[in-house]
C-alpha cells in the first residue's frame, strides 16, 4: 500500500493531467481518495488542480469534516458529493470531478450519452446518465447523483460537468477520459450526419464480454433482465437471472428508464 504522502503526490499528478488536458478551467474540479472507512484525502477548494503540491491536500472524515489541512487550505466545496459516492459504493476508492468540454456540453444540452457507437465506450461505460441540476456545494448534487450510483461508474451533472469513480485513482481518472472521449466522438459523428450505431445484438455481445472479463464497478451489462423490461428487479443477479428474480428496488425505475432509452436509440 502506498504511503499517504505517495497518494497525495498521485492526486497532484492526476490534478495536473485533468488541467493539462483541458478537462478543467482555472480552479475547477476536485479529486478525492479513500484511505480507510473514516479517512479520505481531497483537493483543497479554490486552487488550480494543475499546480498542486502534496502540502495542498486535505484529510477529512466520512462526514467531510477536516482531520488535517495546512494553513490556507480548506477541503473542496464539493466534498459532500464525494462522500455520498463513498457512502453508497463501498467498492469505490477514488472520485474525480471535472468539466471536460464535450461531456459538459452534453450535460448542458441535457443529452445523456446513450448511443452505442464504439465497443470501448460500451464496455467501459455502457451509457452515462445525467443527474438533475443541483446547486454546487449543497446537498442537491449528492441527492441528484445518489440514485445512479448503484448502476453506473460515471454520471453527467446537468449544466455542470462530470463525475467518475472507481476502485483506484487511476481508474477513476481513466473513466473521466473515457467519458470525454465518448462524448467527443458522439458530438463529432453527429456533425458528420449522425453516428451509425451498434446494433442491439452487437451491444449484447460486448456486454457479454464485459461480464466474462469480470470487470469491476457498476455497469448496465450487470443489470437484471427485469430492469431492462421496466419491471421490479433484483439488481444483484449480474444479468444472469433471465428475468426470473423478484424483489424490487427503489431505483429500478431509474435504471429501466435509462436502459429503455438505450434500447430505443438502438431501434432495431
Q: What share of the chain is helix, strand, coil (3-state, %, to 5)?
A: 40, 15, 45
Which residue, 101 or 117, is less far from ligand 13P as judged by CB?
A: 101
Residues binding ligand 13P (CB under 6 A): 27-30, 43, 45-46, 76-78, 136
Q: What angle do CA 206, 212, 216 make, to 5 degrees?
A: 90
Decide whether 43 or 164 has the Cβ nearer to ligand 13P.
43
Q: In what order do the strands lie in the sheet with 154-157?
A: 66-68, 58-60, 39-42, 30-36, 94-98, 161-166, 154-157, 130-131
Q: Which residue has the cell 460515471?
A: 154
CB of 44 to ligand 13P, least distance (A): 7
Minimum Å gap between C-beta 75 and ligand 13P is 8
Helices and strands (H, E) in the chain, number of each type: 9, 8
User: Which CB, 43 or 171, lies closer to ligand 13P?
Assistant: 43
Shortest Å distance, C-beta 42 to ligand 13P: 8
For ligand 13P, give the closer residue by CB, 42 or 224. 42
Instruction: Give 47 or 254: the residue with its C-beta nearer to ligand 13P.
Output: 47
Instruction: Give the shortest CB-12-to-ligand 13P separation in angstroms.
Output: 14
Q: Of 34, 145, 166, 158, whose CA–CA distance to 108 is shortest?
A: 158
DSSP character string of 96-146: EEE--HHHHHHHHHT--B-----HHHHHHTS-B-EEPP--TTSSHHHHHHH
Q: How far is the CB of 223 from ligand 13P (least distance, A)?
A: 30
List residues with catalytic annotation.
Answer: 78
**Nine cell digits for residue 152:** 453506473
Amino acid at each position: 500500500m502506498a504511503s499517504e504522502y505517495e497518494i497525495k503526490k498521485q492526486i497532484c499528478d492526476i490534478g495536473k493531467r485533468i488541467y493539462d488536458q483541458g478537462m478543467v478551467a482555472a480552479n475547477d474540479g476536485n479529486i478525492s481518495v479513500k484511505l480507510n472507512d473514516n479517512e479520505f484525502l481531497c483537493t483543497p477548494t479554490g486552487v488550480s488542480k494543475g499546480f498542486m503540491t502534496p502540502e495542498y491536500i486535505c484529510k477529512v472524515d466520512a462526514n467531510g469534516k477536516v482531520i488535517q489541512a495546512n494553513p490556507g487550505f480548506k477541503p473542496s466545496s464539493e466534498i459532500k458529493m464525494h462522500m455520498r459516492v463513498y457512502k453508497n459504493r463501498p467498492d469505490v476508492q477514488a472520485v474525480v470531478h471535472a468539466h471536460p468540454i464535450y461531456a459538459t456540453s452534453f450535460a448542458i444540452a441535457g443529452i445523456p450519452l446513450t448511443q452505442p457507437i464504439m465497443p470501448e465506450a460500451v464496455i467501459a461505460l455502457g451509457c452515462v446518465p445525467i443527474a438533475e441540476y443541483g446547486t454546487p456545494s449543497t446537498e442537491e448534487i449528492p441527492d441528484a447523483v445518489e440514485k445512479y450510483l448503484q448502476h453506473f461508474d460515471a454520471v453527467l451533472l446537468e449544466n455542470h460537468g462530470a463525475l467518475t469513480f472507481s476502485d483506484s485513482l487511476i481508474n477513476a481518472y481513466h473513466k473521466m477520459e473515457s467519458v470525454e472521449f465518448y462524448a467527443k466522438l458522439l458530438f463529432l459523428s453527429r456533425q458528420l450526419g449522425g453516428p451509425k450505431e451498434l446494433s442491439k445484438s452487437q451491444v449484447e455481445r460486448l456486454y457479454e464480454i464485459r461480464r466474462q472479463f469480470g470487470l469491476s464497478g457498476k455497469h448496465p451489462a450487470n443489470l437484471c433482465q427485469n430492469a431492462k423490461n421496466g419491471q421490479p428487479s433484483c439488481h444483484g443477479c449480474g444479468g444472469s437471472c433471465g428475468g426470473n428474480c423478484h424483489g424490487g428496488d427503489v431505483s429500478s425505475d431509474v435504471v429501466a428508464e435509462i436502459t429503455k432509452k438505450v434500447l430505443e436509440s438502438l431501434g432495431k
